Amino acid sequence: MSKIEEIINTEIKLHQQFKNVNVIGFDMDMAIVRYNNNETATLIYECVLEHLVTVFPFLKESKLDFSFSKRGLVIDLELGLILKLDNKKRVIKAFRGKSIVSKEEIDSIYHDEKVIGSESPLKDYDGSNSARFFTMISFFETPITSVIRDFMEYQNSESIRLGKPIDYSTFKQLAKEISISFAKHFNDFTTGHYYTSFKKDPSKYIYKVSNRLKNWLMEIRSKNNTKVILITNSKSEYCHSVMEYSFGENFRDYFDCIIVDAKKPEFFKSDINSKPFTKLMTFYPKEKSDYIECSNIELGVSHDTIFKGGNIHLVLNKLKDHFKKDQISFCYVGDNLIGDVVAPKQVKLMTVAIIEEIQDPDEIIILKREKNTKSQEVQVNSEGLVERSTGKTNYVWGSFFHIHDDHENLSIDTFWSSILRDNADIVVYGVDTLVEYYYQDKFDNKDTLSPCAVVYGGY
Ligand SMILES: [Mg+2]
């Protein structure tokens, strides 16, 4: 079988698999519910800065720069550098404040075995946060990139002005203060700046879901007996606000079960005994009696009951019982590259990644070129496309998916692109594209399908 036939067969299998799953689990924020990312990032930025300027007054001058604060960047907390990685975890671009770090310096910090010993500091980096590396994994974190850039810019210019080396301990302090400001705004639903602004006008931050999506959820549940479960890391109060605005007051009608405060990726990683579920009798629990110990989730329970915490193994057991099967097919849909894509893949679920970056006009050009290369199995002369795409790219970091090596005229995967290739079965722009994909017969037909290893939206 040729490589192309193999890819096409895989895609037909995937489409069939998706159309026949027993269970679909959805992440909420930036997955089944779409956000206005810029408004949300601005609000988060304001929240974080509100606290930070009390500790670092010079950050008053800081501005949120959308073109710089991109998803997938990695912060080196030891050196205050902002990094972009390729699929081999090599640093291909780095910024110290507003200055780009030279290739020589990057090599001496991260790659040069003579200087750093035999192991790269990024050797164990897998996309999760560690003591040294912090990932801008979702649109909730990306605005922090601007703060970090402006902080380092200040430290850099002060070190030049005073003729002293940069004091890197200040950077650790910044990281600590950022986590304090996040806790301040996101842990308290009643007084936190984020939640109060959100509640005042949800329409500024999130979109209502389409009727097509709602109808589809109803259809797969009634006709195919598919179970639909919401599994979100958000707390119950916020979940209620978001779902009520986006789906309407009767949002419960679209789900067989709602799980809040799931603490993904641990939800998928922990063993069956380590993270039990708690039953909440209301989205706004206050009394002790609102929390009830329970052994597992229930499906289709009363409108007020939701579940908190838990782990995937309990859910799978419950569903196996329900379907009276030893094996059930479970598909998880989410936008967090680690918590919603890598973690569920590790427990062998089918995964759908929601990646809004694929609708960026620059990305579409690059992806089309990628598809063409594969479908024709020839080396297409893509220079024109590459030039056009890089010419149009108006942000400093370039494509989310690819790095173009000008010397070799090659396209290399970014770190996140390779994570997606290895862990996501399907990649789409949003849930509406996923509904479109569900109904598209062309994915079942060898003659109409143009192959790509991952389905990149693009209808
Ligand atoms: Mg999310």
Answer positive or negative: Cα dihedral of 352, 355, 361, 364: negative
Q: What is the pLDDT of residues 182-192, one digit of tens each?
A: 888 887 778 88
**Does a structural domain hold residue 177?**
yes
> Domain containing 107: what range?
37-199
Pull the structure tokens for residue 346. 């590790």
| Ligand 1 centroid distance, CA of 382 (Å) | 35
| Ligand 1 centroid distance, CA of 112 (Å) | 37
CB 142 within 8 A of CB 66: no
| Ligand 1 centroid distance, CA of 430 (Å) | 12
**Does a structural domain hold residue 379?**
no
Q: What is the mean pLDDT of residues 352-374?
A: 63
| Ligand 1 centroid distance, CA of 273 (Å) | 26
Statement: residue 267 has pLDDT above 70: yes
pLDDT-derived band at 369 (thresholds 50, 70, 90) equals very low
**Higher pLDDT pick, 303 / 86:** 86
| Ligand 1 centroid distance, CA of 117 (Å) | 38
Q: What is the mean pLDDT of residues 54-60?
A: 96
CB 320 within 8 A of CB 339: no
| Ligand 1 centroid distance, CA of 333 (Å) | 9
| Ligand 1 centroid distance, CA of 429 (Å) | 13
Q: What is the mean pLDDT of residues 19-39?
A: 96
Q: What is the pLDDT of residues 94-132, one digit of tens each?
A: 999 999 999 999 999 999 877 667 778 998 999 988 889
Q: What is the mean pLDDT of residues 128-153?
A: 92
| Ligand 1 centroid distance, CA of 226 (Å) | 22
**Higher pLDDT pick, 445 / 20:** 20
| Ligand 1 centroid distance, CA of 431 (Å) | 12
pLDDT value for 217: 97
Q: What is the pLDDT of residues 214-259, one digit of tens each?
A: 999 999 999 999 999 999 999 999 999 999 999 999 999 999 999 9
Statement: residue 65 has pLDDT above 90: yes
Q: What is the pLDDT of residues 281-315, one digit of tens each?
A: 999 999 999 999 999 999 986 666 899 999 999 99
Q: What is the pLDDT of residues 371-428, one digit of tens each?
A: 444 433 222 333 223 223 333 444 688 888 888 766 677 778 899 989 998 899 888 8
**Does a structural domain hold residue 131?**
yes
| Ligand 1 centroid distance, CA of 178 (Å) | 20
pLDDT value for 387: 29
| Ligand 1 centroid distance, CA of 139 (Å) | 9
CB 364 within 8 A of CB 452: no
Please report, rounded to a whole number, the percentage of residues in the chain having pLDDT higher than 70. Answer: 86
| Ligand 1 centroid distance, CA of 137 (Å) | 10
Q: What is the pLDDT of residues 313-335, one digit of tens each?
A: 999 999 999 999 999 999 999 99
| Ligand 1 centroid distance, CA of 239 (Å) | 12
| Ligand 1 centroid distance, CA of 236 (Å) | 15
The DSSP element (H or E) to which 372 belongs, if any, is helix 361-376
Statement: residue 3 has pLDDT above 70: yes
**Does a structural domain hold residue 153?**
yes
Backbone angles phi, psi at 353, to 5 degrees: -100, 130
Q: What is the mean pLDDT of residues 11-29?
A: 93
| Ligand 1 centroid distance, CA of 158 (Å) | 38
| Ligand 1 centroid distance, CA of 99 (Å) | 32
Pull the structure tokens for residue 459. 């209808």
| Ligand 1 centroid distance, CA of 140 (Å) | 9
Strand pairing category for 455-456 and 426-428? parallel
**Does a structural domain hold residue 229?**
no
| Ligand 1 centroid distance, CA of 20 (Å) | 24
Statement: residue 443 has pLDDT above 70: no
DSSP at 441: G
| Ligand 1 centroid distance, CA of 160 (Å) | 41
**Does a structural domain hold residue 74?**
yes
| Ligand 1 centroid distance, CA of 223 (Å) | 28
5 exposure class (CB count in 10 Å sphere: 0-12, 13-18, 19+) = exposed
SS3 of residue 113 by DSSP? helix
The DSSP element (H or E) to which 180 belongs, if any, is helix 169-186
pLDDT value for 346: 95
| Ligand 1 centroid distance, CA of 259 (Å) | 14
CB 366 within 8 A of CB 411: yes
| Ligand 1 centroid distance, CA of 449 (Å) | 30
User: How many independent structural domains does the chain possess?
Assistant: 1
**Does a structural domain hold residue 324?**
no
User: What is the number of other CB atoms lying within 10 angstroms of the CB of residue 374?
Assistant: 17
